Structure 1
Amino acid sequence: MGLKRADLRLNHPFIQNLIAGLMLLCLPGIYLALTGLGAGGGKPSSQAVAANVNAILYGVFFITGWFAGSVMNLIGPNYTVFLGSIGYSLYTGGLWYFDRSGHSWLAYLGGGIEGVSAALLWASAGAIAYSYAEEKDKALFMTIQWCMCEGGSTIAALVALGINIHSARQDAGAPTPVYVVFVVIQVLAMVLALTLLVRPAKVVRSDGTKIAIFKQPSLKSELEGIVEMIKDYRFMMLLPAIFVAEMALALQSSLNGYYFNLRTRSLNNVMFNFIQLPASFGMTYILDNPRFGRRKTRALIGISVMSAVTLAICAAEAAWLAQHHLNRHEAGPSTDWTDPGFAGAFVIYIIYGSVYSIYQIATQYVICALTNDPERLARRASCFRGTTALGMMFSFIIDGNGGTYITQLSFQFACYFVGILFLYTVTVLYVGDTNYFHEDTVIVPKHIEDDARLDGRIAAAASGAGGGGEEASSVDGKETVVAGDKSVV
Structure 2
Amino acid sequence: MKGPTTWLLQSAPHSVEPSEVEIPTGWRYKKLKLGPITLPWYASPESQLILVSFVCFLCPGMFNAINGLGGGGQLDENAYAASASNSALYATFAVVGFFAGTVTNAMGIRFALSFGGLGYCVYISALLCWNHTRNFGYVVFAGVLLGCCAGILWSAQGAIMMSYPPEKLKGRFISWFWIIFNLGAVIGSLVSLGLNIHEDHDGTVSDGTYIGILVLTFLGACLSWMLVDAKHVVRRDGSRIILMKHPTWKTEILGLWETLWNEPYIILLFPMFFASNWFYTYQFNCVNLAQFNVRTRALNNTLYWLAQMFGALIFGFALDFPNIRRTTRAKAAWVIMFVLTFAVWGGGYVFQRRYTRTRPKDGTDDPVNGYDWGSNGYVGPMFLYICYGFYDAAWQTCVYWFMGAISNNSRKLANFAGFYKGIQSAGAAISWRLDWVKKPYMNLFTSCWVLLAGSLVIALPVMILKIKDTVPVEEDLKFTDETIEDVIGHRVSDESPEKEKV
TM bracket, shorter-chain basis:
0.7 to 0.9
Letter in 2 for 1:258: A
Q: Is residue 49 from structure 1 mapped to residue 81 from structure 2 by the alignment? A: yes
Q: Which residue of 1 aligns with 2:23?
A: none
Q: Which residue of 2 aligns with 1:143?
A: 175
Query: With structure 2 as the length reference, what TM-score do the two structures score?
Result: 0.85
Answer with 223-232 or 148-157: which moved more.
223-232
Q: Which residue of 1 aligns with 2:376?
A: 340
Q: Which residue of 2 aligns with 1:485?
A: 490
Q: Which residue of 1 aligns with 2:412?
A: 376
Q: How far 1:482 sits from its partner (Å)?
A: 7.7
Letter in 2 for 1:233: P
Give CA-to-partner distance per residue, 1:290-322, whole Å, 9 cap, x none. 22x211111121222222122221111112211
Q: 1:306 aligns with which of 304, 327, 337?
A: 337
Q: 1:227 aligns with which of 257, 266, 275?
A: 257
Q: Which whole-Å CA distance do the structure 2 matches of 1:123 and 1:206 have between them?
A: 25
- Give the gaps of 5 or more residues in structure 2: 1-17, 19-29, 33-37, 362-366, 493-502
Give CA-to-partner distance per residue, 1:435-469, whole Å, 9 cap, x none. 14225669xxxxxxxxxxxxxxxxxxxxxxxxxxx
Q: Which whole-Å CA distance do the structure 1 matches of 2:251 and 2:411 have between them?
A: 11
Q: Which residue of 1 aligns with 2:22?
A: none
Letter in 1 for 2:43: N
* CA RMSD across the alignment: 2.3
Query: With structure 1 as the length reference, what TM-score do the two structures score?
Result: 0.87
Cα 1:480–1:206 change in 2 (3 A) is closer
Q: Is residue 409 from structure 1 mapped to residue 445 from structure 2 by the alignment? A: yes
User: Does the 8 A contact of 2:123 with 2:143 survive in 1?
Assistant: yes
Answer with 266-275 or 366-375: which moved more.
366-375
Letter in 1 for 2:313: F
Relative contact order, higher structure (CA 8 A, sep 6+): 2
1:314-325 mapped onto 2 (5 Å cutoff): 314-325=345-356
User: Does the 8 A contact of 1:30 with 1:182 survive in 2?
Assistant: yes
What SS does structure 2 have at the residue aligned with 1:65? Answer: helix
Q: Which whole-Å CA distance do the structure 2 matches of 1:131 and 1:479 have between them?
A: 17
What SS does structure 1 have at the residue aligned with 2:237? Answer: coil
Q: How far 1:433 sits from its partner (Å)?
A: 1.1
Q: How far 1:202 sits from its partner (Å)?
A: 2.1
Percent identity, aligned pairs only?
A: 27
Q: Which residue of 2 aligns with 1:32?
A: 64
Q: Which whole-Å CA distance do the structure 2 matches of 1:200 and 1:140 have between them?
A: 20
Q: Which whole-Å CA distance do the structure 2 matches of 1:324 and 1:105 have between them?
A: 33
Give CA-to-partner distance per residue, 1:158-211, whole Å, 9 cap, x none. 0110111110111x21111111111111112222212x1222222111121113
Q: 2:121 aligns with which of 81, 89, 93?
A: 89
What SS does structure 2 have at the residue aligned with 1:118? Answer: helix
Q: Which residue of 2 aligns with 1:241?
A: 272
Q: How far 1:481 sits from its partner (Å)?
A: 7.1
Q: Which residue of 2 aligns with 1:424?
A: 460
Q: Which whole-Å CA distance do the structure 2 matches of 1:201 and 1:182 have between them?
A: 33
Q: Which residue of 2 aligns with 1:395?
A: 431
User: Does the 8 A contact of 2:407 with 2:476 survive in 1?
Assistant: no
Q: Which residue of 1 aligns with 2:194?
A: 162
Q: Which whole-Å CA distance do the structure 2 matches of 1:186 and 1:145 have between them?
A: 17
Q: How far 1:19 sits from its partner (Å)?
A: 0.6
Letter in 1 for 2:103: V
Letter in 2 for 1:225: G
Q: Is residue 217 from structure 1 mapped to residue 230 from structure 2 by the alignment? A: no
Q: 1:263 aligns with which of 295, 313, 318?
A: 295
Q: Which whole-Å CA distance do the structure 2 matches of 1:214 and 1:137 have between them?
A: 25
What SS does structure 1 have at the residue aligned with 2:353? Answer: helix
Q: Which whole-Å CA distance do the structure 2 matches of 1:414 and 1:61 have between them?
A: 24
Q: Is residue 435 from structure 1 mapped to residue 465 from structure 2 by the alignment? A: no
Cα 1:12–1:316 change in 2 (3 A) is same
Q: How far 1:72 sits from its partner (Å)?
A: 0.9
User: Does the 8 A contact of 1:212 with 1:373 survive in 2?
Assistant: no
Q: How far 1:327 sits from its partner (Å)?
A: 2.8
What SS does structure 2 have at the residue aligned with 1:206? Answer: coil
Q: Which residue of 2 aligns with 1:351?
A: 387
Q: Which whole-Å CA distance do the structure 1 matches of 2:280 and 2:369 have between them?
A: 21
User: Does the 8 A contact of 2:31 with 2:41 survive in 1?
Assistant: no
Q: Which whole-Å CA distance do the structure 1 matches of 2:307 and 2:196 have between them?
A: 21
What SS does structure 2 have at the residue aligned with 1:16? Answer: helix
Cα 1:111–1:482 change in 2 (3 A) is closer
Q: Which residue of 1 aligns with 2:130?
A: 98
Give CA-to-partner distance per residue, 1:331-381, whole Å, 9 cap, x none. 864221111242222111110001111101101111111111111111111
Q: 1:12 aligns with which of 33, 44, 54?
A: 44
User: Does the 8 A contact of 1:26 with 1:185 survive in 2?
Assistant: yes
User: Does the 8 A contact of 1:214 with 1:441 survive in 2?
Assistant: no
Q: Which whole-Å CA distance do the structure 1 matches of 2:317 and 2:237 have between them?
A: 24
Cα 1:104–1:220 change in 2 (3 A) is same
> How many aligned residue pairs are there?
448
User: Does the 8 A contact of 1:272 with 1:349 survive in 2?
Assistant: yes
Q: Which residue of 2 aligns with 1:294?
A: 325
